[in-house]
Amino acid sequence: MSWRLLDDVDKAILYALQQDARNATTREIGDQVGVTASTVSNRIAELKDDGIITNYLATLDYSRAGFPMHVLIHCDVPVHDREAIAHRTLDIPGVVNVRELMSGTDNIRIEAVGETRDDITGIVSALSEEGVQTTDEILIQNQHFRPLSSLEPEGED
């Protein structure tokens, strides 16, 4: 895995996209950054090609969407199976995010949603069938996001 040194234009573009990728036009970003819309478009293409921008996702309020059970499930799996298990758990209905952690125990965190506690119990049962040992289940009350501050252009608040 290689990485790319980001210049101030790249950082400002990434910051703008993290604020609102859906509504930010290349012209608006260009105006903010001081470059043309075509430069923004070319830079976004390069950032995608380099694997820095990997996806555009909508952030949902699961409760308002009819899924009030939003949980973070701490799991323990054998380190040598961690990546394969992480990929398989994404196929379990209700699992929306899987994080592999670099730790000996509690090395996978799974975010799951459901309509009822029974839905979550079903997800935990399916995890168990995949060889995943659940160590904790935590109900998520709220989530808050912000762009990475080190990408923020200087002079902005």
Q: How does pLDDT run across 101-140, given as a tens digit for each residue?
A: 998 789 999 999 999 999 999 999 999 998 899 999 999 9
* Distance separating alpha carbons of residues 65 and 143, to the nearest angstrom: 15
- Find where tokens 């950054």 sit: 33
Fold held by 69-139: Alpha-Beta Plaits (3.30.70)
Q: Which CATH class is domain 8-57?
A: mainly alpha
List the one residue out of 53, 35, 55, 36 whose CA is nearest residue 44.
53
Burial class (CB in 10 A: 0-12, 13-18, 19+), 142: exposed
As a whole number, mean pLDDT of residues 12-37 equals 94
**Parts of the chain belonging to CATH 1.10.10.10:** 8-57
Is 13's pLDDT higher than 70? yes
pLDDT of residue 154: 80
Q: In whole numbers, what is the pLDDT of the chain averaged over residues?
A: 92
User: What is the pLDDT confidence band of residue 88, given thresholds at 50, 70 and 90?
Assistant: very high
pLDDT for position 41: 97
CATH 3.30.70.100 residue ranges of the chain are: 69-139
Q: Is the pLDDT of residue 15 over 60?
A: yes
Considering the entire predicted model, what is its pTM?
0.81
d(CA 7, CA 134): 42
- pLDDT (mean) for 69-98: 95
What's residue 105's pLDDT? 84
Per-residue confidence at 4, pLDDT binned at 50, 70, 90? Answer: confident
Spatial CA neighbour of 18 closest among 144, 143, 145: 145
